[in-house]
Structure 1
Amino acid sequence: MLGATTLTAGFLLAGLPAASADQVRDGQWANQLFNLDKVWSITRGEGVTVAVIDEGVDANHPDLAGRLLPGYDPSGGGNEVKPTDPHGTQVASLIAGQGHGSGNGDGVVGLAPGAKILPIYKVNSRGSNGVPEGIKWAVDHGAKVINISLGSADASERDQDAIAYAYQHDVLVVAATGNDGASVGYPAAFPGVLAVGAVAQDLKIWPKSNYGPEVLLSAPGVQIVAAGACGGSQYCREAGTSFAAPYVSAAAALVRAKFPKLTAGQVAERLVKSASRPTGVSKLPDEHYGYGVVRPYEALTMDIPAGSAQGPLTLPSGVNDGGSSPAASAGATAGSGSSADPGSGLGNPGAAPELKQSKTSTTPLILGAAGGAVVLLIVIIAIVVANSRRRNRSQGIPAQPGGPAPYGAPQGWPPAQAQQPPYGQQQGAPQYGQQPPPGYPPQPPTSYQNPYQGQ
Structure 2
Amino acid sequence: MSFTRTLRAVGGAVVAGALLFGAAPTALADQIRDDQWPLKSFDAANVWKESTGKGVTVAVIDDAVNAAHSDLKGNVLPGKDVVKGGTADHESVNDHGTAMASIIAGHGHGAGGSEGVKGLAPDAKILPVAVPREADVPDLNAGDSLAEALKYSVDHGASVINMSITTPALTDQEKEALSYAAKKNVLLVVSTGNEGQGHLDELPSHPGVMAVGAVDKAGKVWDKSNYGPQTMVTAPGTLIRSAGASKPYRLANGTSDAAAYVSGAAALLRAKYPDLTAGQIANRLVKTAGLPPGQEGMKLPDPHYGYGFIRPLRALTQDIPAGSKNGPLKTPKTEPGAGAGGATALGSSGTGGESGEQKSSGLGLGAIVGIGAGVLVVVALIVIVVVRQKKNGRNGPPSGGPGGYGGPGFPQQPGPYQQPPAPYQQQPGAYQQPTAPGSFPPPPNQPPGQ
Common fold: TM-score over 0.5: yes
After TM superposition, give the deviation of residue 159 of structure 1 in Å.
1.9
Contact 1:7 1:242 in 2 (8 A): yes
* CA distance, structure 1, for counterparts of residue 188 and residue 5 of structure 2: 16
Could you say which residue in structure 2 is the equivalent of 1:184?
200
* CA distance, structure 2, for counterparts of residue 260 and residue 441 of structure 1: 37
Gap runs ≥5 in structure 2: 22-27, 350-365, 368-413, 415-420
Letter in 1 for 2:291: R
Could you say which residue in structure 2 is the equivalent of 1:435?
441
* CA distance, structure 2, for counterparts of residue 166 and residue 152 of structure 1: 18
After TM superposition, give the deviation of residue 421 of structure 1 in Å.
8.8
For 1:84-131, what per-residue CA distance to the aligned partner results, in whole angstroms no more than 9, with x for missing partners?
Answer: 210000000000000012254211000001110000001399833111
Letter in 2 for 1:316: P
CA spacing shift, 1:56–1:42, aligned 2, 3 Å: same
Could you say which residue in structure 2 is the equivalent of 1:382?
none
Letter in 2 for 1:108: V
Contact 1:263 1:327 in 2 (8 A): no
Could you say which residue in structure 1 is the equivalent of 2:186?
171
Work out whether 1:299 is the aligned partner of 2:315. Answer: yes
CA spacing shift, 1:106–1:3, aligned 2, 3 Å: same
* CA distance, structure 1, for counterparts of residue 237 and residue 86 of structure 2: 29
> Which of 76, 79, 90 is residue 82 of structure 1 equivalent to?
90
CA spacing shift, 1:443–1:66, aligned 2, 3 Å: closer
* CA distance, structure 2, for counterparts of residue 440 and residue 185 of structure 1: 38
Contact 1:264 1:327 in 2 (8 A): no
Could you say which residue in structure 1 is the equivalent of 2:357?
none
Work out whether 1:127 is the aligned partner of 2:140. Answer: yes
Contact 1:323 1:329 in 2 (8 A): no
Work out whether 1:328 is the aligned partner of 2:355. Answer: no
For 1:371-418, what per-residue CA distance to the aligned partner results, in whole angstroms no more than 9, with x for missing partners?
Answer: xxxxxxxxxxxxxxxxxxxxxxxxxxxxxxxxxxxxx9xxxxxxxxx9
CA spacing shift, 1:137–1:164, aligned 2, 3 Å: same
Letter in 1 for 2:140: G
Contact 2:324 2:424 in 1 (8 A): no
Work out whether 1:312 is the aligned partner of 2:328. Answer: yes
Three-state SS of the structure 2 residue aligned to 1:40 is: helix
Letter in 1 for 2:428: Q
* CA distance, structure 2, for counterparts of residue 213 and residue 256 of structure 1: 26
Could you say which residue in structure 1 is the equivalent of 2:71?
63
Three-state SS of the structure 2 residue aligned to 1:50 is: strand
For 1:196-254, what per-residue CA distance to the aligned partner results, in whole angstroms no more than 9, with x for missing partners?
Answer: 00001111000110000110000000000001146xx4110000000000110111111
After TM superposition, give the deviation of residue 442 of structure 1 in Å.
2.7
Aligned length: 357
Three-state SS of the structure 2 residue aligned to 1:430 is: coil
Q: CA RMSD in A?
A: 2.9
For residues 356-435 of structure 1, the aligned pairs below 5 Å read: 422-427=425-430, 429-432=432-435, 435=441
- TM-score w.r.t. structure 2 length? 0.73
* CA distance, structure 1, for counterparts of residue 201 and residue 163 of structure 2: 12
After TM superposition, give the deviation of residue 323 of structure 1 in Å.
9.9
Contact 1:122 1:134 in 2 (8 A): yes
Three-state SS of the structure 1 residue aligned to 2:260 is: helix
Gap runs ≥5 in structure 1: 332-357, 360-407, 409-417, 445-455
Contact 1:309 1:327 in 2 (8 A): no
Could you say which residue in structure 1 is the equivalent of 2:378?
none
Contact 1:6 1:149 in 2 (8 A): yes
Work out whether 1:216 is the aligned partner of 2:224. Answer: no
Letter in 1 for 2:447: P
- The farther-off stretch of 40-49 and 126-135 is 126-135
- Overall identity of the aligned pairs, in %: 45
After TM superposition, give the deviation of residue 189 of structure 1 in Å.
1.4
Could you say which residue in structure 2 is the equivalent of 1:52?
60
Could you say which residue in structure 2 is the equivalent of 1:33?
41
Letter in 1 for 2:274: P
* CA distance, structure 1, for counterparts of residue 68 and residue 251 of structure 2: 20
* CA distance, structure 1, for counterparts of residue 184 and residue 424 of structure 2: 29
* CA distance, structure 2, for counterparts of residue 121 and residue 422 of structure 1: 36
> Which of 286, 310, 326 is residue 302 of structure 2 equivalent to?
286
Could you say which residue in structure 1 is the equivalent of 2:2?
3
Could you say which residue in structure 2 is the equivalent of 1:243?
257
